[in-house]
Amino acid sequence: MGQKRLLVAGNWKMNGLRADAELMAEGLASRCHAMGNVAVDIALFPPATLLDYMARALDDTPIVIGGQDCHRSEKGAFTGDVSAWMLRDVGASHVLLGHSERRAGHAESSAQVKDKAQAAQAAGLVAIICVGENSSERDRGETLAVVRRQVQESLPAGATYANTIIAYEPVWAIGSGQVPSTEEIVNVHGEIRRLLVKATGDDAGATRILYGGSVKPSNAAEILGLGDVDGALVGGASLILDDFWAIVTAAVR
Ligand code: PGA
């Protein structure tokens, strides 16, 4: 398992205009080419408006592109939504699901996340299912119980290491500059691994579990070196080319 390639995923959230995307794509492409053999997997999650552009601009790099959410249906009367098939159609290979900003801001339940993950699977996308406790749940000592419930209720049937990734993102760590202790991260990731053993059997060891929440160049190497941490989901730092690349470099094994 120590030899598994790490994945660094950049979630731009609702940030980025075409001019920003052009600069990022150029900078990332030239850094990839300069690195030669890029011994880490890299995924970017720009807003839906930039998916098509980024997929084309990064076409000759190892960087893959994903959506930040998808609808559970293939198409239909769902104004404002985007389907997994539409993401696939513009060159996405991944989709983030159940990010805490979706769970909180759009009242998404784990049952809905599971339906979306099923759609992602059917469309041939890799789903990155996000889970994590908020600060009051943490204060009440409920971290493991919350994560357990979210994983169990969000994971679709047919989940394998090839179509599903879990991201542990403590809500209180997102955008706050605070991160859990290394022991806390190891404990939660170990618990997620045990749940995956029950849900996916032999695939559990190969399934990636990412950590997300205030990952920066200054803490990336330490976090990425922890047991059962198979990569990082990066928000704010993924908007700054040098910071994102420093995290990518810290993930090279
Ligand atoms: P952050 O966001 O790196 O800015 O804390 C992480 C995320 O929300 O995925």
* Segment among 2-11, 170-179, 237-246 with least mean pLDDT: 2-11
The widest CA-to-CA distance across the chain, in whole angstroms, is: 48
Whole-number Å distance, alpha carbon 39 to ligand 1 midpoint, is 23
Enter the pTM of the model. Answer: 0.97
pLDDT digit string (tens) for 205-218?
Answer: 899 999 999 999 99
Is 65 part of any domain? yes
Is 1 part of any domain? no
Residues with C-beta less than 6 Å from any ligand 1 atom: 11, 169, 174-175, 212-215, 233-237
Known binding-site residue numbers for substrate: 11-13, 175, 214, 235-236
Q: Averaged over 4-28, what is the pLDDT?
A: 97
Q: What share of the chain is helix, strand, coil (3-state, %, to 5)?
A: 50, 15, 35
β strands within the chain, DSSP E: 7-11, 41-45, 64-67, 94-97, 126-131, 164-168, 209-212, 231-234
Q: Which atom of ligand 1 is nearest to the CA of 174?
A: 5
* Burial readout 164-194 (b: 16 or more C-beta within 10 A, e: otherwise): bbbbbbbbbbbeeeebbeeebbebbbebbbe
Per-residue model confidence (pLDDT) at position 168: 98
Is 232 part of any domain? yes
Is 126 part of any domain? yes
Is 2 part of any domain? no
Is 117 part of any domain? yes
Is 73 part of any domain? yes
Per-residue model confidence (pLDDT) at position 203: 82
What is the domain count for the chain? 1
Per-residue model confidence (pLDDT) at position 2: 46
Cβ neighbours for 186, distance < 8 A, ≥ 6 positions apart = 226, 227, 228, 229
Measure the CA–CA gap between 93 and 71, rounded to whole angstroms. Answer: 15
Q: If DSSP codes are grouped into helix, strand and coil, which group holds residue 157?
A: coil
Catalytic residues: 99, 169
